[in-house]
Amino acid sequence: MMLEFIQHLVNGLSLGSIYALIALGYTMVFGVLQLINFAHGDVYMLGAYIGMYTAHFFQLGQNSSVLALIFTITVSMITCAVVGFLIEKFAYRPLRKSPRINVLITAIGVSLFLEFSGQLLFGPDPKFFPQIFKPSGDWSIGELKINPLQILVFFISIILMSVLQTIIFKTRLGRAMRAVSFNHDLASLMGIPTHRIISYTFMLGSGLAGAAGVLVGLTYPKIDPLMGTMPGLKAFVAAVLGGIGNITGAVIGAMTLGLAEEFLVGYWAPTYRDALAFGILILILLFKPTGLFGVKQTEKV
Amino acid sequence: MTTLHNETDSLEALEVKNLTIQFGGLKAVSDLNLQVSKGMIFGLIGPNGAGKTTAFNMLTGVYRPNSGKIQAFGKNLVGCRPFQITQFGVARTFQNIRLFKNLTVLGNMMIAMDHHPEQKHFWVLPSLLRTRPMVENEIQQEKNCLELLKIFKLDTRKSEIAKNLPYGDQRRLEIARAMATGAKLLLLDEPAAGMNANETKLLMHSIRLIRDEYQMTILLIEHDMKLVMGICEKIAVLDYGVKIAEGTSSEIQNNPRVIEAYLGKVPTDE
């Protein structure tokens, strides 16, 4: 009984931390632009593919090590950051003064563009993610068997999230990001180059999504060009659950969702895995649209 | 005068020539000319809707004028983005206070000073690693911020959340924050609005102080005539987007067109 519980807990934390990495990108971009960047899940898909190609290119599958993993994650993060920069620059920046709905539709367009370019470039069939880090076997404590990969995923995510937290709350870039998320015009009158700060925000968020792509490839090594849709939507739900625009909220929302999913699957109804996230979304929107940690935004007159 | 002013020997902090902006069919400001010399306290007055705030919005790059020229410290401002204008040394305050409400007093100041043109740029890595130069710079920056706050007697409230400050303090914090951007020309939009007589008097004192001690040039919009007449060395009057008078306080007070704009035409008996 206890064994099973710990097993689900570990699975849930590992899944939750993947959601968290993606949800942070949603929430940061929403913070600075009030935009739901629906292409974000597809950046995560690109992250997985970039990881795969990097591993193939450097033949990391044959000589797996922690270094290989760190290297792959870094390459994937940097490339995804560049992709995020380009998406913002060419798809969203020209629409800065347009109504929000236009930008939202563009985001869906970018998402479809990435998914189907992915099918064209990478092929529509699922690919196998090489084992760039192979643990020597499960850790067993008594009868409990834990896959070290899941613990690793959890810890890498925690490290990345703390770095992000530090950037946002302890650096000048973070101060500028928070100023921009408060009000563009005001930030700009304080001498803050708002466009540039928005670019950096996209790059940070996309970088994290790239890392999530590689980490998912490690634990569920089957990747395909449409793999970003569902985790993207779920991470979005997680961000809404925590209160969109709120960094801590996104992490807590994602962990909650990950744990809830794993416990639901483990104890009750495995087929309802995907229904859970959207059930939560509906409930949140009905009863607490600002999310758990969101603040009510008063419409400016 | 064929050559443009050199940045260093220009005596004018601000030169505005034939500035015009139109919203639809309405000329909100037309053919505005202003010259504000360095170190001057200049008042811009006029009835409500005369175009004063619109003029400020053009000066700070929020609106783009349809025609006309703006130069601050010898640099052209038309077509520049607001953040560039701030970095050229022009900063403003707002009629309706706009602070980063959820940050502390010091937090508001630090954000503004981060983008001071003379500020060293430490972005992500040094701040993450908290390198020595970065930490020292941060401490120095905090000191500089506190020094500015002291002028407005706000240094003792540095850790308070901005929105919890009394109204008058919020207005003063806005001025301090504008100075923290490194600006040499301050545009103050109704700095005394909502202040009582005593607070207004203190504010006048502070404005004179920052001009004298920090070599600021000040252009202010104000409806409080005691303040305007008390500290402005030169005053321009706008009415329906047109400058109808300019001069010293006594010249303005006796100008019939100004009296007409404010009080309406005195009917004559003939």
pLDDT tens digit sequence for A24-48: 999 999 999 989 999 999 999 999 9
Torsion angles phi and psi, residue B246, rounded to 5: -150, 140
Render pLDDT for A4-20 as a digit per residue (tens, 0 to 9): 898 899 999 999 999 99
Q: What percent of chain B has a predicted confidence (pLDDT) above 90?
A: 65
A252 belongs to a structural domain: no
- Domain residues for the domain of A94 are 2-234
Torsion angles phi and psi, residue B43, rounded to 5: -105, 140
Q: With CB atoms and an 8 Å threshold, state whether B123 touches A191.
A: no
Instruction: Give the residue-averaged pLDDT of A177-182.
Output: 92
The pLDDT assigned to A141 comes to 77
Please compute, for residue A11, the number of CA atoms within 13 A of its CA located in the half-sphere on the CB side: 15
Please compute, for residue A289, the number of CA atoms within 13 A of its CA located in the half-sphere on the CB side: 4
Render pLDDT for A54-71 as a digit per residue (tens, 0 to 9): 999 988 877 778 888 999
A176 close to B (CB below 8 A)? yes
For residue B107, the chain A residues in CB contact (below 8 A) are 175
Q: With CB atoms and an 8 Å threshold, state whether B114 touches A175.
A: yes
For residue A190, the chain B residues in CB contact (below 8 A) are 83, 86, 91, 111-112, 115, 177, 181
The pLDDT assigned to A59 comes to 83
The pLDDT assigned to A270 comes to 82
A204 close to B (CB below 8 A)? no
Instruction: Give the residue-averaged pLDDT of A248-254.
Output: 94
A290 belongs to a structural domain: no
The pLDDT assigned to B268 comes to 65
Q: Which ranges of chain B have pLDDT less than 50?
A: 1-7
Query: Burial level of A158, CB count in 10 A (0-12/13-18/19+)?
Result: middle
Instruction: Give the residue-averaged pLDDT of A241-268.
Output: 92
Q: With CB atoms and an 8 Å threshold, state whether A173 touches B83.
A: no
Tell me if residue B178 falls in helix, strand or coil.
helix
- The bridge status of strand B12-23 relative to strand B67-72 is antiparallel
In this prediction the pTM is 0.88
A150 belongs to a structural domain: yes
How far away is chain B from the Cα of A238, in angstroms, using its nearest Cα? 25
Q: With CB atoms and an 8 Å threshold, state whether B87 touches A191.
A: yes
Amino acid of residue B82:
P
Q: Are A72 and A51 in contact, with CB atoms under 8 Å apart? A: yes
The fold adopted by the segment(s) B9-89+183-264 is Rossmann fold (3.40.50)
The CATH 3.40.50.300 domain(s) of chain B lie at 9-89+183-264
Q: Which of A170, A185, A190 sits opposite B127 (nearest CB)?
A: A170
**How many domains does chain A divide into?**
1
Strand partners, A223: A127
A180 belongs to a structural domain: yes
CA distances (Å), origin A205, targets A30, A119, A166, A247, B213 = 11, 23, 14, 11, 45
How far away is chain A from the Cα of B233, in angstroms, using its nearest Cα? 27
Q: How far apart are CA B151 and CA A59, in angstroms?
A: 64
The pLDDT assigned to B266 comes to 66
Q: How many CB atoms lie within 10 A of CB A273?
A: 14
The pLDDT assigned to A63 comes to 73
Q: With CB atoms and an 8 Å threshold, state whether A179 touches B92.
A: no
Render pLDDT for A231-246 as a digit per residue (tens, 0 to 9): 999 999 999 999 988 8
Q: Are B21 and B66 in contact, with CB atoms under 8 Å apart? A: yes
